[in-house]
């Protein structure tokens, strides 16, 4: 039995070898179909991995608030709303008053923390670029004023040293935690802990180093995330005292950080924030919390929309939906290619059966059974599909690599995707090869021998 199958396989290989060009053209549909399957699975897995990585970066249940410059249209809209509410008399005055909003402040953060019960953690940030110098090395880097909650919300681990303690935070001491790339840039072969580094006009003592956090270019572009490895982190009180406005801070005393009465006449909000990240207890309350926070901030900012609120998790889900649609389209293309390839195999095999009618008759006359004829033509169909599958895998892997490098779309080619592609190719050859094989096996040997 095994010998007969090997003999049928040999005859099938010999037949395909004698018609190489036709066999290759027959396999084209399978080649493109399998290549599309490989590319689809690679892009799908890459997108899934990227979404998961982005979720880890932005954190779960987060709301991000950033200040923005109010444009002319916003100002005109607010004046119109004020005119509608006041009958036209006080609209201009209200709009003029609105221009005095100072943007996001520590007081805003404290009010959100105190008033909104769905908020679990809140992390204000102050960001400024400064010339950083250590020894003979210098570079322009971001100095980020943060609270300890910043590291938890953004899943940033401290690789060496410690986070800021309470005394350092309240007193605004000149201490800092540097990113892993900052360590590599300034401290190649020495331990940075305890060293002093000059950031702008201030000398800061290094008390910690963060672990490296990998962020893809696509993630930075899509979510507007900066490279945390290149930042230097200081207590937010240190940022207020030493970088933002020291004279105003010294004049206000300790109330500068904790002052929540910024709506009183004559009170100036000078502790401006560059970003405010809020983490809520439950993801179900994300949208509702964002709406409440927006209303609250508009009241505090004299009805000026000088901030923008984004929910990264919802943006990522929307991205995932878009990529799912893309994968569905690619799957349809792959399915159509495999179907066309299968139909092509069946048509060519039917034509081959007609051409080789006399050969079939001779084999039957020499003792070949119907199942031998069936196996011969099935072997041919499956071999065409498998050879097309091999070329398709090479094409798909190469295409996925080029997409990853040239289009900056993350792709992951796995062993399971290659296995699935081979199974699909074999199945197509087997399914679409059955009809020609059965037709060849049911021919009358005498009529076959009479065929010219």
| pLDDT averaged per 10 residues, the chain (length 452) | 63 72 82 86 80 66 80 54 51 49 82 90 91 92 93 89 92 92 91 93 93 74 77 92 63 41 43 82 85 90 83 71 76 82 85 79 79 81 87 90 82 86 86 86 76 62
Q: What is the reported pLDDT for 264?
A: 44
Nearest to 412 by CA among 25, 29, 41, 23: 41
C-alpha–C-alpha distance, residues 283 and 452, integer Å: 76
Q: What is the reported pLDDT for 248?
A: 45
Q: What is the reported pLDDT for 416?
A: 85
C-alpha–C-alpha distance, residues 415 and 418, integer Å: 5
Contact 260, 223 (CB under 8 A): no
Nearest to 216 by CA among 103, 95, 17, 52: 52
Cβ-based neighbours of 292, under 8 Å, separated by 6 or more: 116, 118
Q: Using N-to-C axis directions, what is the helix angle for 312-355 and 286-300, rounded to 10°?
A: 140
* Six token digits for residue 313: 């998790």
* Six token digits for residue 9: 């396989």
Beta bridge partners of 132: 139, 199
pTM summary value: 0.61
* Six token digits for residue 352: 């081959």
Q: What is the CA radius of gyration of the chain?
A: 35
Q: What is the reported pLDDT for 175?
A: 95
C-alpha–C-alpha distance, residues 350 and 443, integer Å: 13
Q: Where are the beta strands (DSSP E) in 101-217?
A: 119-134, 137-146, 158-161, 175-178, 196-199, 202-210
The H helix count followed by the E strand count for the chain is 18, 10
Contact 417, 37 (CB under 8 A): yes
Q: Is the dihedral of CA 235, 238, 239, 240 positive or negative?
A: positive
Question: What phi, psi does 258 have (nearest 5°)?
Answer: -100, 5
Q: What's the DSSP call for residue 88?
A: T
Q: Using N-to-C axis directions, what is the helix angle for 312-355 and 370-406, rounded to 10°?
A: 150
The three-class DSSP label of residue 65 is strand
Q: What is the reported pLDDT for 439?
A: 85
CA dihedral 171, 172, 175, 176 (to 10 degrees): 140
Q: What is the reported pLDDT for 267?
A: 43
Residue 188 burial (C-beta neighbours within 10 Å; 0-12, 13-18, 19+): exposed
Q: What is the reported pLDDT for 106?
A: 86
Beta bridge partners of 145: 126, 234
C-alpha–C-alpha distance, residues 54 and 63, integer Å: 14
């Amino acid at each position: 039995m095994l010998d007969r199958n090997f003999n049928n396989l040999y005859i099938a290989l010999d037949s395909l070898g004698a018609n190489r060009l036709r066999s290759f053209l027959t396999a084209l549909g399978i080649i493109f179909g399998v290549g599309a399957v490989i590319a689809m699975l690679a892009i799908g897995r890459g997108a899934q991995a990227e979404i998961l990585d982005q979720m880890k970066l932005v954190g779960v249940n987060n709301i991000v608030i950033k200040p923005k410059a109010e444009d002319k249209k916003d100002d005109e809209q607010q004046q119109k709303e004020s005119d509608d509410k006041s009958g036209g008399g006080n609209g201009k005055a209200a709009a003029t008053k609105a221009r005095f909003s100072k943007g996001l402040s520590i007081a805003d953060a404290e009010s959100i923390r105190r008033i909104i019960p769905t908020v679990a953690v809140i992390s204000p940030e102050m960001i400024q670029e400064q010339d950083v110098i250590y020894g003979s090395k210098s570079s322009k880097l971001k100095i980020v004023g943060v609270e300890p909650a910043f590291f938890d919300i953004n899943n940033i681990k401290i690789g060496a040293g410690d986070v800021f303690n309470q005394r350092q935070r309240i007193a605004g001491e000149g201490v800092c935690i540097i990113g892993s790339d900052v360590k590599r840039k300034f401290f190649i072969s020495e331990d940075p802990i305890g060293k002093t580094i000059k950031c702008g006009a201030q000398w800061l003592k290094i008390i910690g180093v963060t672990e490296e956090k990998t962020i893809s270019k696509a993630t930075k572009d899509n979510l507007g995330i900066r490279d945390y490895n290149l930042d230097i982190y200081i207590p937010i009180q240190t940022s207020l005292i030493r970088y933002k406005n020291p004279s105003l801070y010294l004049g206000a005393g300790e109330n500068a950080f904790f002052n929540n009465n910024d709506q009183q006449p004559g009170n100036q909000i000078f502790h401006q924030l560059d970003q405010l990240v809020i983490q809520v207890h439950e993801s179900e309350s994300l949208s509702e919390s964002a709406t409440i926070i927006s209303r609250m901030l508009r009241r505090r900012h004299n009805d000026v929309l000088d901030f923008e609120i984004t929910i990264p998790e919802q943006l990522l889900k929307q991205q995932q939906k878009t990529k799912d649609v893309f994968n569905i389209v690619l799957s349809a293309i792959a399915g159509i290619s495999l179907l066309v390839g299968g139909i092509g195999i069946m048509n060519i095999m039917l034509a081959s059966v007609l051409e080789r009618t006399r050969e079939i008759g001779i084999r039957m006359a020499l003792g070949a059974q119907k199942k031998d004829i069936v196996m011969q033509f099935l072997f041919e169909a499956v071999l065409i599909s498998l050879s097309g599958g091999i070329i398709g895998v090479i094409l798909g892997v190469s295409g996925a690599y080029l997409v990853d490098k040239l289009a900056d779309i993350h792709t992951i080619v796995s062993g399971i995707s290659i296995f699935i592609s081979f199974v699909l190719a074999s199945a197509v050859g087997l399914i679409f090869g059955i009809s020609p094989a059965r037709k060849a096996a049911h021919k009358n040997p005498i009529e076959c021998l009479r065929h010219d």
